[in-house]
Amino acid sequence: MAFVNMKTKEVQAKIVFYGPGRGGKTSNLEYIYSKFRERIKSEMVSIKTHGDRTLFFDFLPFDIGKIMGYDVKVQLYTVPGQVKYDATRKLVLKGVDGIVFVADSQVEQRKKNVLSLKNLQENLSTYKKSIFKVPLVLQYNKRDLKDVPLLPIEVMDKDLNSQLKVPSFPASAVTGHNVVPTLKKIISATMASLQNVLK
Amino acid sequence: MGSNYDDISFSEYTLGQEQLDQIEAILHEDLVESGVNSVLLIDMAGNIIANRDNGLCDHDVYSLAALASANFAAVDTMAKLVGEQEFSLLFHKGENENIHFSKINPEFLLISIFGKNVTLGLLRLKVTEAIEKINGLLEK
């Protein structure tokens, strides 16, 4: 749940990057952090294992300026993608306002994408939220890979987006391709869902 | 509230400007004036509701709030796993700074950062008083 402070005219909204392990959620945040370094006042927080895998979450607060007279701060989070960290993943989803689902385009990750999306749906339902109603954007990551077989976009759309019918972006978090458009899309979808409250 | 799926895409609580003013006054009078360096009222999703400090702190409060809510949620889940309702004392001691967590209600947390000039006992007393007052306000 976003928090609107009527006194300071400030909105805080929580956007979570979800998806299978090693799919590029942290890389998305790292790209955003490097790209907007001068606009982000604080350090990016990462709670990770020695093996550099996300243990709890990454956190990046991001001022996006004024919308409808409100100073909007989006808080970007990632979840740990590994299956075994479901308990912590669920905690990060608490109070979520918008979600980017980062899918892995590699053919061999096809099943993991589907399972992770299903896991998202289950975890949202524990907070009484429906995956069909929460602002959601899909990102088909790793399109830059050359040496491994990639799933065609149509197949990923069919696997992940045939029922959801939400905006989707082929992207590469490492090169930055379509990372910012993904972010812009989820911010605008999230703000649109909060609009009624800001009037 | 919250009986139906996604009725409330927004917060499960509303605080008016007057309530926020009163909450900030409580944080200031009960905690900052008692020697607490910095105090944050946050919600369980990690949003900052109110923040008061002694003017000498330069903490990254947004990161603190995100980490504090996650830390609290993790400890709370651990409590349930070992069959406890909750762990009532949550406190981290450092060389110069200490952090104390206190649950106000299912939605809000109070985070107090304090140094050597305040004892844990006094802090707990003051936090309890502040929470009673804040809960009184929220019930209105």
Q: Contact at 8 Å (CB) between A58 and A77?
A: yes
Q: Which two tokens stand for residue A159?
A: 């696997």
The CA-atom distances, in angstroms, between B117 and each of B35, B64, B84 are 7, 22, 33
* Closest CA of chain B from A31, distance in Å: 19
Q: Contact at 8 Å (CB) between B87 and B75?
A: yes
Class of domain A3-198: alpha beta
Interval A140-178: pLDDT, tens: 999 999 999 999 999 999 999 999 999 999 999 999 999
Give the DSSP letter string of chain A. --EEETTTTEEEEEEEEE-STTSSHHHHHHHHHHHTGGG--SPPEEEE-TTS-EEEEEEEEEEEEEETTEEEEEEEEE---SGGGHHHHHHHHTT--EEEEEEE-BGGGHHHHHHHHHHHHHHHHHTT--TTTS-EEEEEE-TT--SS-B--HHHHHHHHHTTT---EEE-BTTTTBTHHHHHHHHHHHHHHHHHHHH-
B46 conformational bin, left if phi > 0, alpha if psi -120 to 50, beta if neither: left
**Is A197 an interface residue toward B (CB < 8 Å)?**
yes
- Using pLDDT thresholds of 50, 70 and 90, give the confidence band for residue B15: confident
**Is A129 an interface residue toward B (CB < 8 Å)?**
yes
pLDDT score of B30 more than 70? yes
User: Residue B99 gets which letter from DSSP?
Assistant: E
* DSSP-derived 3-state class of residue B130: helix
pTM: 0.87
Longest dimension (CA), chain A: 54
**Is A76 an interface residue toward B (CB < 8 Å)?**
no
pLDDT at residue A89, rounded to an integer = 94
* Domain spans in chain B, listed from the N-terminal domain onward: 22-139
User: Residue B9 gets which letter from DSSP?
Assistant: S
Residues of chain A with pLDDT under 50: none
Percent of chain B with pLDDT over 70: 91
Selecting from B20, B49, B66 the residue whose C-beta is nearest the C-beta of A75 gives B66
Mutate to test the interface with B, among A62, A91, A92 (most CBs of B within 10 A): A91
Measured distance CA(A82)–CA(B75) in Å, rounded: 20
pLDDT score of B9 more than 60? no
- Using pLDDT thresholds of 50, 70 and 90, give the confidence band for residue B12: low
Q: How many CA atoms lie within 13 A of A2 on its CB side?
A: 31
Instruction: Quote the radius of gyration of chain A (alpha carbons, Å).
Output: 16
pLDDT at residue B2, rounded to an integer = 34
* DSSP-derived 3-state class of residue B59: coil
User: Residue B13 gets which letter from DSSP?
Assistant: -
What is the architecture of the domain spanning B22-139? 2-Layer Sandwich (3.30)
Measured distance CA(B109)–CA(B104) in Å, rounded: 5
Measured distance CA(A53)–CA(A128) in Å, rounded: 29
Measured distance CA(A168)–CA(A33) in Å, rounded: 22
- β-strand partners of A12: A3, A73
Look at B6 and A134 and tell me if their CB atoms are within 8 Å. Answer: yes
Selecting from A57, A73, A87 the residue whose C-beta is nearest the C-beta of B77 gives A87
**Is B67 an interface residue toward A (CB < 8 Å)?**
yes
Q: How large is the average pLDDT for residues B100-128?
A: 95
For tokens 């409580």, the residue is: B26
